[in-house]
Amino acid sequence: MPAPFIIGRSSVTQVMAWVLAALLPGVGVYVWLFGPGILVTLSLATVTALAAEAAMLKARGYPAKPFLTDLSAIVTAWLLALSLPSLAPWWLIVTGTLFAIVVAKHLYGGLGQNIFNPAMVGYAVLIVSFPVQMTQWAGPLELTATPLTLAQSAMVIFGGDVPKATLDAVTMATPLDALRTGLLQQHTVDEIMTQPIFGHYGGTGFEWLAAAFLAGGLLLWALRIIGWQVPLAFLAGVWLTAGFLHFFDAGRFGAPWFHLFAPSVMLGAFFIATDPVSGATTPRGRLIFGFGAGFLTIVIRTWGGYPDGVAFAILLMNLSVPLIDQYTQPRVYGEARKGEAPRS
Amino acid sequence: MSRELFKFRGGVHPPEHKAESNGRPVHPAPLPKTLVIPLRQHIGTPAKPVVEVGERVLKGQLIGAADGYISCAVHASSSGIVTAIGPAAVPHVSGLPDDCITIETDGRDEWIAHAPLDWRAMEPADLRMRLRDMGIAGLGGAVFPSAVKLDPGAARHCPTLIVNGGECEPWITCDDLLMRTRADEILAGVAIMRHLLGSTEVLVGIEDNKPEAIAAMRDAAAGLDFPVEVVPVPAVYPGGGAKQMIETLTGRQVPSGKLSTDIGIQVFNVGTAHALARAVHHGEPLIARLVTVTGHVLRPQNFEVLIGTPMHALITLAGDREGATGVLMGGPMMGVPMPSLDVPVVKATNCILVKSAELFPPLPKALPCIRCTRCADACPAELQPQELFRFAKAGDFGRAQEYHLFDCIECGCCSYVCPSHIPLVDFYRYAKSEIWAREREKRAADLARERHEFRQFRLEREKKEKAEKLAAKAQAKRAEIAADATASGAPDAEAKKALIAAALARAQAKKAEAAPKNTDNLSPETQHEIEEIETRRAKIRELAHQPLEPEEKP
């Protein structure tokens, strides 16, 4: 083996482990504000992802251990689980996870080869195929009279016999849903925002979840697991686009802070759009990639068919990565800088 | 005095491991019984042997003469009898033998007559030729003949001379010890370099993890009659690389595909300056150097070693230990594994690093690239290593070249930081060697095609000439028959000649046009690199297919 003969301490496992660790504040806040149901979803997605990963590795003739222990399948599972409604039925979770791991990851060539973010592919498949089930969100505990226990949540998820009244008492529209429905009913943004589901900036509870994802994302940035370009550009894309629309017609378009403090934006900006495999790799490319995803998120939220657009925005930008990378190659050492005559 | 320093992009901070060997004083290594002196220790044409088997040689005697401009002489490191001239094991990763001169030493260590040079009075060109004949080559690792680098060329002078005491590779401390103990001689050599290059500014860059060397060099610099600025630079690998040292000290980058002298800067290693001073002030050719022996040995330290001393003798001297797993020449980032310990110390040997399983655990199996671009962040050449890897692996060498593959300096930073533990540099070496091989093949094919075309042209011409001759003959005959006797073919023949000349010129122009450009006018470093990489090609190619393949199904 030629040089170098030493390597640093980093490993794929370590990178993925930090991503999972950075998601923990978000999971904690989720449990605290929305009840323990998310833990069932996370566990089910994790088990499904690992089983699917193992099966696919075996089918493809790859060794199981190095790839199962790289934790990448668990990251996919968690990102998908955190994007799903917290009381989504078990088969929805399993279907989404299977699609993410089997189709979006392994059929594209496995770790490092997928051009789309697997979790977002899983999410997109579910929201297109099962739009009704994808609305089964548990409302924030603050607004719920009788919150579900862990066992009750598991019952709901696994299709147990839960009285409809109990379920109706805990599920409610997300702030983005409420905004969308309200706007369709010709209410102004200000009227809609008086509903209890809306909090200071974002939704009641939701804004704290967003803040927790933001904190986890900043941790990843501080550890240099992710760069600043994608998250900052993503948030800027959301804020500027929403701000532009809101500035011209505050009655018909939600405030930029409201859009920014939706948990999906923070999760998308720091954890999903920063997926290195499916994202742009050049510094300028990452700015374009992040901004484009933020911009498209607002476009889809405003004019698209779905209340949230983060998943589709990221998938569309995933599609543009080869083009972005190709045209944003940075200057190499010794190459003339832009606007500077080549030195001789 | 504080100089504004600049930061080059990228770099890594591997554990330094300097303390192991820099605490002990430099010891002269004892005279070995046998010296094996390779004729090719430098970049360029190998030296030509000028002694015979059985001949007695003296210490410092020329035994291999420089062959051409980019070449360097080799000398007997001690007195004794030449016992063999021919292939022997040399410190090269391929393990292939190379031509060497073997000397059985007689223990008398008897010097040949030698005297200082009157360097100020000599013509610069003569002085440079003397340095070539005294075997002076870069001791920082590249071993490029110093005489060539000391020629300022058409520019007449090179304003900035940088003396490189960076020594950024982990484990190695020979330059550190040299600066601590022989600062005066280093700067005496620098004075001569400055004289030859016509430099007005002299900078000595030393990484700030060598405070004693910095102090010693500053003390020595204070007593000089020309200004020398000793500049501590941040310790970051590969900060001791010539291009990185230039950027740190001056903020300038060497333009892609050019030499540092094109921007008026020349860089020499401190060891080279020292060897130069010994040559000029004492008339001693380059027959010894400092070598760090470190790693898995009992007493890691620096030795002053005669060129040609077998490596195992030095490891024994430093105290060999159980459990060695291999030996590197150079450091862990860019060093080369030694095929055997019988190989001699050469001019390029700055360090003998003995590996063990604890110090150098086997590298983990590679995972696929996840495009995290830590390699791009670490790359001092500011490349996109993840893309180069993708192209090299896919065999898309054209794209790899477009992405500046040949600007890669193979420092190993990318491999060091890769979380997937991909031996990235191996893939770049593989891609480079494949490109060189293809261009060689293309050149050979072009040559064959040209030969074929010329043969066709010649056959055509001969046929035509024959026909014309026959026609002329027939015409002459007819003319004769017509009884008019003055017709001549002479003007006709003239036109024919002109026609042929024009066709030849066209063919030549076409030939010149068709010649491949990329491997023309290669610098000797690159040429050397090509040869070196060539020998590793088979291994690397194998590797390129190995690490990421799925395991065999039972």
Mind listing the domains of chain B with CATH numbers?
130-284 (3.40.50.11540), 290-356 (3.10.20.600), 365-477+503-516+527-547 (no CATH)
Catalogue the E-assigned strands of B401-497. Answer: none
Select from A2, A12, A325 the Cβ nearest to the Cβ of B370: A12
> What pLDDT, in 10s, does the model give residues B115-130?
999 999 999 999 999 9
Calpha distance A196→B418 (Å, rounded): 49
* B 277-336 → A contacts, CB under 8 A: 328, 330, 332-336
- The mean-pLDDT minimum among A189-198, A305-314, B61-70, B398-407 falls in A189-198
Whether residue B287 contacts residue B60, with contact meaning beta carbons closer than 8 Å, is answered with yes
Q: Do A1 and B536 touch (CB under 8 A)?
A: no
Task: Give residue A96's pLDDT.
Answer: 97
Which ipTM score applies to this complex?
0.89
The answer on pLDDT for B48 being more than 90 is: yes
Q: Do A279 and B355 touch (CB under 8 A)?
A: no
Calpha distance A281→A277 (Å, rounded): 9
The answer on pLDDT for A170 being more than 80 is: no
Select from A4, A281, A329 the Cβ nearest to the Cβ of B412: A4
Q: Using the CB atoms, write b or e for B488-497: b if 16+ within 10 Å.
A: eeeeeeeeee
Residue B381, φ and ψ in degrees, nearest 5: -90, 5
Higher confidence at residue A151 or residue B513?
A151
pTM check: above 0.90: no
Residue B200, φ and ψ in degrees, nearest 5: -105, -20
Select from B336, B381, B551 the Cβ nearest to the Cβ of A3: B336
The answer on pLDDT for B486 being more than 90 is: no
Residue A261's CB is within 10 A of a number of other CB atoms, namely 24
Calpha distance A172→A180 (Å, rounded): 14
Residue B493, φ and ψ in degrees, nearest 5: -60, -35
* Overall average pLDDT of the B392-420 stretch: 94
Pull the structure tokens for residue B98.
Answer: 């190379």
Task: Give residue A264's pLDDT.
Answer: 94
Task: Give residue B94's pLDDT.
Answer: 79
Contact of B180 with chain A, judged by CB distance below 8 Å, is answered with no
Task: Give residue B514's pLDDT.
Answer: 63
For residue B72, name the pLDDT band (cuts at 50, 70, 90). Answer: very high
- CA nearest B392: which of B374, B404, B377? B404
The distance of B541 to chain A (nearest Cα, Å) reads 12
Pull the structure tokens for residue B182.
Answer: 């022989």
Calpha distance B82→B35 (Å, rounded): 9
Task: Give residue A340's pLDDT.
Answer: 57
Contact of B256 with chain A, judged by CB distance below 8 Å, is answered with yes
The distance of A309 to chain B (nearest Cα, Å) reads 25
Q: Do B407 and A332 touch (CB under 8 A)?
A: yes
Whether residue A153 contacts residue A217, with contact meaning beta carbons closer than 8 Å, is answered with no
Contact of A295 with chain B, judged by CB distance below 8 Å, is answered with no
The answer on pLDDT for B554 being more than 80 is: no
Cα–Cα distances in angstroms (integers) from residue A202 to residues A71, A237, B166, B258, in the given order: 32, 17, 55, 57
Interface test with A, best of B13, B253, B259, B388 (most A CBs within 10 A): B253
Select from A111, A227, A342 the Cβ nearest to the Cβ of B255: A342
Calpha distance A33→A203 (Å, rounded): 12
Pull the structure tokens for residue A113.
Answer: 């080869």
How much of chain A exceeds pLDDT 90, in percent? 67
Could you write out the three-class secondary structure of A209-221? HHHHHHHHHHHHH
Task: Give residue B482's pLDDT.
Answer: 78
Contact of A110 with chain B, judged by CB distance below 8 Å, is answered with yes
The distance of A302 to chain B (nearest Cα, Å) reads 33
Could you write out the three-class secondary structure of A234-270? HHHHHHHHHHHHHHHCCCCCCCHHHHHCCHHHHHHHH
Contact of B451 with chain A, judged by CB distance below 8 Å, is answered with no
Calpha distance A214→A270 (Å, rounded): 7
How much is the mean pLDDT over chain B?
90
- The mean-pLDDT minimum among A58-62, A187-191, B146-150, B289-293 falls in A187-191
The distance of A321 to chain B (nearest Cα, Å) reads 12
A9 exposure class (CB count in 10 Å sphere: 0-12, 13-18, 19+): exposed
Contact of A282 with chain B, judged by CB distance below 8 Å, is answered with yes
* B 363-382 → A contacts, CB under 8 A: 363-365, 367-374, 376, 380-382
Calpha distance B337→B353 (Å, rounded): 9
Give the side-chain half-sphere CA count within 13 A for B522.
Answer: 17
User: Using alpha carbons only, what angle is made at residue B164 by residues B159 and B169, rounded to the nearest 5 degrees?
Assistant: 150
The distance of B315 to chain A (nearest Cα, Å) reads 20
> What pLDDT, in 10s, does the model give residues A67-119?
999 999 999 999 999 999 988 899 999 999 999 999 999 999 999 999 999 99
Task: Give residue B62's pLDDT.
Answer: 97
The answer on pLDDT for A331 being more than 70 is: yes
The answer on pLDDT for B413 being more than 80 is: yes
The distance of B252 to chain A (nearest Cα, Å) reads 9
The distance of B423 to chain A (nearest Cα, Å) reads 8
A50 exposure class (CB count in 10 Å sphere: 0-12, 13-18, 19+): middle
Q: Do B371 and A279 touch (CB under 8 A)?
A: yes
Q: Do A333 and B253 touch (CB under 8 A)?
A: yes
Task: Give residue A343's pLDDT.
Answer: 43
Taking each helix axis from N to C end, the angle separating A310-327 and A283-303, rounded to the nearest 10 degrees, works out to: 150
For residue B551, name the pLDDT band (cuts at 50, 70, 90). Answer: very low
Please tell me which residue of chain B has the smallest CA distance to A1. B337
A to B CB pairs, distance under 8 Å: 152
> What pLDDT, in 10s, does the model give residues B82-124?
999 999 999 987 788 999 999 999 999 999 999 999 999 999 9
Residues of chain B positioned with their CB less than 8 A from the CB of A333: 8-9, 243, 253, 256, 380-383, 407
Contact of B479 with chain A, judged by CB distance below 8 Å, is answered with no
Q: Do B367 and A335 touch (CB under 8 A)?
A: no
Interface test with B, best of A332, A335, A344 (most B CBs within 10 A): A332
Task: Give residue B46's pLDDT.
Answer: 95
Please tell me which residue of chain A has the smallest CA distance to B542. A1
Task: Give residue B552's pLDDT.
Answer: 45
Residues in chain A: 344
- The mean-pLDDT minimum among A311-320, B16-25, B162-171, B486-495 falls in B486-495
Task: Give residue B521's pLDDT.
Answer: 59
3-class DSSP assignment, residue B174: helix
Residue B285's CB is within 10 A of a number of other CB atoms, namely 27
The answer on pLDDT for B553 being more than 50 is: no
> What pLDDT, in 10s, does the model give residues B201-243?
999 999 999 999 999 999 999 999 999 999 999 999 999 999 9
Residues 6+ apart with CB under 8 A from A107: none
Residues 6+ apart with CB under 8 A from B137: B41, B42, B43, B72, B143, B144, B145, B146, B272, B286, B347
Report the relative pairing of strands B160-165 and B201-207 from DSSP bridges: parallel
> What pLDDT, in 10s, does the model give residues B7-40?
999 999 999 999 999 999 999 999 999 999 999 9
Select from A5, A335, A344 the Cβ nearest to the Cβ of B360: A5
Task: Give residue B550's pLDDT.
Answer: 46
Residues of chain B positioned with their CB less than 8 A from the CB of A332: 256, 381-383, 404, 407
Task: Give residue B495's pLDDT.
Answer: 75
Whether residue B439 contacts residue B516, with contact meaning beta carbons closer than 8 Å, is answered with yes
> What pLDDT, in 10s, does the model give residues A199-250?
777 788 899 999 999 999 999 999 999 999 999 999 999 999 999 999 998 8
For residue B1, name the pLDDT band (cuts at 50, 70, 90). Answer: low
> What pLDDT, in 10s, does the model give residues A31-45?
999 889 899 999 999
